[in-house]
Structure 1
């Protein structure tokens, strides 16, 4: 009986600790923020406001994002955004790139068509913290007239990876598990290749592309909507090219 009580106490204690760890992690990454953080950069005669975006967050956070977009647009800012389309549904229709999506999933074990609210372990905390997926940019007030994508398509990301690491070989499991499925259990690439893809391609190549867009645009006031982890390397690259 004492052993059973001790086991139950230990389980409850571990559960409590796990919950606290999740609290700390979500707060640290900004998922629980109610307001978006804006940081200002300069490049020659251009003023850049970097909005640290979250792909999963609070309703209040995205309301604040929309408010900031509206205010800065009224001040003459043009928006550069992460991703390729104003609406997520357009990505599937316009790209129609199943093979490269499958390769992306095999490398990162992350389905590009699966919303963050359905990705484990994040999905387990959506209800607890009242989180939602990042709304479409169109719902945040972006239009083809006031904004522009400054991202790289998955085709480019996969091509860059395969130049360095060789072809990503898909198997029956990859083909038979539909994109958008929450039950992807196929074998993925080794951890070294995964880290390379994440750091050198998904992060560095896209940061370089973003900085190139900043350098070559004729816009003088720019609002950037991009994941917060991109801010520091983008700031560094801009300083190196000043």
Structure 2
């Protein structure tokens, strides 16, 4: 019930420096079908209006994949884990819906940009911090990733599903969506690993934005990147500002209606 009465909201912020416009759509890896359909609709409209789409998604690299899996994906494949989490929560996985843009991607590949770093770049930043940042080296705990609201207990939850009745599965979905809603609202304590998964990737994203010759960019990235990205843009040029912000609800219980004829 808390998810319905006090729902999580994700921002859609329009940023501009007067010459370039960036639409930053905050995202979650798993959410409701209605949320993702709205995002795809907005992305299609942005493409028609001449925007370039930037997608989040750490890219594979043979030299960094094993490190990434062990340190940031709970020893498995991150996409697979999120799909499992979606099944547990009665929610959808975002990449299943971005596939609706594949036809446009084939026609205009230059308008679809995976703007993220790869696993090796993240490993290199991690290694650099372990050597040069005493606070990071002293405070980093490998298990802290498992405490993240989106990843906690995925494997245990999936295993438990096999023995659940339909009623138990429905109840677990309520609990899971409540936990996901709290995670989406943020506000948790900062973790040392955020220097890699947030700060480093924010710097790389902002460098790409500033170097991009296009004057209209539509970004779909985790909402917890927005504040850092805006701050870095303003550090580069004080003219950057928030032109407007609207909000969208990413989590809703699956609709189930009953009636009699």
TM-score range, shorter chain: 0.5 to 0.7
DSSP-derived class of the 1:102 partner: helix
- Aligned-residue offset at 1:63: 0.8
TM-score by length of 2: 0.59
- RMSD of aligned alpha carbons: 3.2
DSSP-derived class of the 2:64 partner: helix
Cα gap change, 1:115 to 1:67, in 2 (>3 Å): same
- Are 1:114 and 2:110 an aligned pair? no
Mapped partners of 2:79, 2:43: distance in 1: 26
Q: Select the structure of larger CA radius of gyration.
A: 1
User: Which structure is richer in relative contact order (CA contacts within 8 A, separation 6 or more)?
Assistant: 2
Structure-to-structure mapping, 1:116-131, within 5 angstroms: 116-119=82-85, 124=88, 126-127=89-90, 131=91
- Are 1:165 and 2:126 an aligned pair? no
Unaligned runs of 5+ in 2: 132-153, 157-189, 238-261
Mapped partners of 2:117, 2:230: distance in 1: 19
Unaligned runs of 5+ in 1: 1-19, 31-36, 85-90, 167-180, 184-193
- Aligned-residue offset at 1:140: 3.4
What does residue 210 of structure 1 align with?
Answer: 205
Cα gap change, 1:55 to 1:113, in 2 (>3 Å): closer
Cα gap change, 1:182 to 1:235, in 2 (>3 Å): same
Q: How many residues align?
A: 178
Structure-to-structure mapping, 1:40-189, within 5 angstroms: 40-83=14-57, 95=60, 97=62, 100-108=64-72, 110=74, 111=76, 112-119=78-85, 124=88, 126-127=89-90, 131-136=91-96, 137-141=98-102, 143=105, 144-165=109-130, 182=155
Mapped partners of 1:25, 1:151: distance in 2: 35
Mapped partners of 1:59, 1:151: distance in 2: 24
Mapped partners of 2:61, 2:213: distance in 1: 32
What does residue 161 of structure 2 align with?
Answer: none
Cα gap change, 1:70 to 1:154, in 2 (>3 Å): same
